[in-house]
């Protein structure tokens, strides 16, 4: 059982329209000049304009940037930080998906330390993060949970690997979880981001670090996702399902902070870094096989998850596979097209994610990896 008890020290405020209270929230945490880091898509929407107006209406100076790219690279983060260092900001408001929020965390870290390079802060690196500028996170996708986690995922251009910065100072002070901001997501993005939340919940329930609290959050998220996600993919305008998915994604984020992740994200990070495929689908692409592999070591968790999927424990891998197909998630071959890596190449990539793999209750042998790859192909 985990010795780590942190779930979130973020103040979470949730509800339709809550994003527009950002001005009073920013004032309340002492911000005066704010970097509004906003995803380029959201920046062009009425919601983006209204969030900027809500900040200026409270007398805050706003410096705006849309320098957010999917799977943010260290180079982009460092360029943004060097520009922001000239703007005398004392807080950041991030509006967007995990990429915007993680960019904000990394920039807030560089500015607070007054250094140009992010690499020393990578998990296991030479510098331990000590501080970050205060961050208000406003998620516009329902998947990563980054609004409550103390993790930032950065793509390192020299190796094309997705690397983690992981330290409690990266925790946002406030998360404004407003499901209305997710309503503009097309079905494919709803699916892709929802899959990330599903992966978080399934992995942390079955990891070696799970605990009663993370289990409770994760199983609640799974029960919600199983019902709401397929409906939302078919009809993105259902506010009840949008609210359910936003809540599930934030709960799954709180759960995996403590319960941690393992093989699904090892696969997801390896494929995302090497082939730039969408994060959520990459994390679940081998999930039926992963659940089958860990089942003997985590029978209680597997039984609980099977209950959420409405099947017997022995049928869980097949039920998850059916769920992925129903939601339109790609299989491994489709996800990687036009690339056609050999199992050996994939296993080598996966093995690079040792830190995540070691949190799995079963560490697959090469033979197990190979048969999992074949089944998922």
> Contact positions toward ligand NAD, by CB under 6 A?
39, 41, 70-71, 96-100, 102, 140-141, 143-146, 149, 151-153, 162, 181-182, 184-185, 189, 193, 196, 279
- Based on CB atoms, which residue is closest to ligand NAD, 202 or 295? 202
- The least CB distance from residue 20 to ligand NAD, in Å, is 15
- The least CB distance from residue 17 to ligand NAD, in Å, is 15
- The least CB distance from residue 71 to ligand NAD, in Å, is 4
- The least CB distance from residue 266 to ligand NAD, in Å, is 13
- Based on CB atoms, which residue is closest to ligand NAD, 149 or 214? 149
- Based on CB atoms, which residue is closest to ligand NAD, 99 or 304? 99
- The least CB distance from residue 175 to ligand NAD, in Å, is 12
- CA distance linking residue 143 with residue 197, whole number of Å: 5
Under DSSP, is residue 337 helix (H, G, I), strand (E, B) or coil?
coil
Q: Check if the beta carbon of residue 118 is closer than 8 Å to that of residue 110.
A: yes
> 260: left (phi > 0), else alpha (psi -120 to 50), else beta?
left
- CA distance linking residue 82 with residue 88, whole number of Å: 11
- CA distance linking residue 254 with residue 204, whole number of Å: 10
- Based on CB atoms, which residue is closest to ligand NAD, 55 or 153? 153
For every residue of 157-223, DSSP letters joined together read: TTTTEEEEEE-GGG--SEEEE-GGGGTT--HHHHHHHHHHHHHHHHHHHHSTT--HHHHHHHHHHHH
Bond prior to 338 in cis (omega within 30° of 0): yes
- Based on CB atoms, which residue is closest to ligand NAD, 45 or 368? 45
């Amino acid at each position: 059982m985990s010795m780590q008890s942190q779930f979130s020290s973020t103040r979470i405020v949730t509800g339709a329209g809550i994003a527009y209270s950002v001005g009073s929230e920013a004032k309340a945490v002492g911000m005066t000049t704010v970097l509004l880091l906003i995803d380029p898509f959201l920046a062009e929407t009425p919601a983006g304009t209204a969030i900027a107006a809500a900040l200026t209406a409270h007398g805050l100076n706003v410096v705006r940037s849309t320098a957010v790219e999917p799977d943010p690279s260290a180079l982009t983060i460092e360029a943004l930080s060097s520009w922001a260092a000239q703007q005398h900001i004392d807080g950041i408001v991030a509006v967007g998906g995990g990429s915007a929020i993680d960019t904000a965390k990394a920039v807030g870290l560089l500015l607070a330390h007054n250094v140009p390079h992010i690499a020393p802060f990578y998990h296991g690196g030479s510098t331990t993060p000590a501080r970050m500028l205060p961050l208000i996170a406003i998620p516009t996708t329902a998947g990563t949970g980054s609004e409550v986690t103390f993790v930032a995922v950065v793509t390192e251009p020299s190796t094309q690997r997705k690397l983690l910065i992981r330290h409690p100072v990266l925790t946002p002070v406030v998360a404004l979880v407003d499901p209305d901001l997710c309503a503009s997501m097309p079905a494919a993005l709803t699916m892709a981001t929802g899959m990330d939340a599903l992966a978080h919940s399934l992995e942390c329930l079955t990891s070696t670090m799970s605990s009663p609290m993370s289990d409770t959050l994760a199983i609640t998220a799974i029960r919600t996702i199983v019902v709401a996600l397929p409906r939302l993919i078919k009809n993105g305008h259902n506010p009840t399902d949008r609210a359910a998915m936003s809540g599930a994604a934030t709960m799954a984020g709180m759960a995996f902070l403590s319960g941690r992740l393992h093989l699904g994200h090892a696969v997801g990070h390896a494929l995302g870094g090497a082939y730039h495929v969408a994060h959520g689908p990459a994390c679940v692409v081998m999930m039926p096989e992963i659940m089958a592999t860990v089942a003997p070591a985590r029978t209680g968790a597997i039984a609980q998850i099977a209950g959420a999927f409405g099947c017997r424990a022995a049928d869980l891998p097949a039920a998850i596979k059916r769920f992925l197909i129903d939601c339109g998630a790609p299989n491994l071959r489709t996800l990687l097209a036009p690339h056609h890596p050999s199992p050996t190449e994939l296993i080598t990539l996966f093995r690079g994610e040792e830190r995540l793999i070691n949190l799995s209750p079963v560490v697959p042998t090469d033979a197990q990896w190979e048969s999992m790859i074949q089944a998922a192909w």
